[in-house]
Amino acid sequence: MRVALKFAYDGKHCSGYARQPQQHTVEEALLHTLITNTLIRSAQDSCFRTASRTDRGVSALGNVCAFDTTLSPEEIIRRVMDETSAVFVYGATEVPSGFYPRYAKQRIYRYYLKRPGLNGEAVISTAALFTGEHNFSNFARIEPGKDPVRSIDNIVIAEKKDFFVIDFFAQTFLWNQIRRIVSALEKVGAGKLLYAQVKDALDHPEKKVDFQVAAPEPLLLKDVLYEFSFHYVKEYTKKVQQFENRIIASL
């Protein structure tokens, strides 16, 4: 059968997501967990796939992977629930044969932007510019052949201690898209950039500008959503919150 897992990790302690020779990466740690617990034999044999490959330094609270296995979701949860590796696996469910987790219904990313010195109203009003469909050529690293047009469903901003907690909702994101948007929001909030400059860069992607890239460590892949739900380990919400608290404590 094919099974999907939901998992979290602290990206600050890994050399990026994808496997690399002689490097400790998220994918390497995840596969080590799966193989040592005899859930799969190898990535190739199990047709292992992941929903999102996050940049170096970026963490996740709800990434998803899928693979072929002979074990039920319940047995998988039993085997990994006490796992103490860098990757925390906390959900599993059976999915159709050939399921590819990259094709998700929605992704949610969260960025912890430090509040001191920033004008909150300016940050919030500028963030509203990015909802809906836009050409994000000036707010992403566009790979060859990639369409720069994307749609952001919503951006929600809350305050938590010394941070603006910014949640981005969309089906897909471009490389560095969120971090470049956040860099622009931070500069507007600090009075180093005008709202009108950001709007002009978004409305006129043919006029190349660079508002730089925000740090990766405050960015988390909060969740990846599908038309189905997962079977979770006991008290998973509490454990995921504790995981998030540990990540932001070092920011």
Q: Where in the sequence numbering do the catalytic residues fall?
A: 55
Q: What's the CA gap between 235 and 11, in Å, rounded? A: 23
Q: What's the CA gap between 251 and 248, in Å, rounded? A: 5
Give how far Cα 179 sits from Cα of 74, 120, 176, 230, Å. 37, 18, 5, 29
| Longest CA span, the chain | 57
Strand, helix or coil at 133? strand
Return the HEC string of 49-71.
EECCCCCCCCEEEEEEEEEECCC
Q: Which residue has the tokens 């500028």?
A: 126
Q: What's the CA gap between 238 and 63, in Å, rounded? A: 17
Q: Helices (DSSP H) in 69-119: which residue ranges?
A: 73-80
Contact criterion met (CB below 8 Å) for 18 and 103: no
Give backbone dihedrals phi and psi of 137, rounded to 5 degrees, phi first.
-55, -35
Q: What's the CA gap between 81 and 73, in Å, rounded? A: 12
Q: What's the CA gap between 28 and 17, in Å, rounded? A: 8
Q: What is the CA radius of gyration of the chain?
A: 19
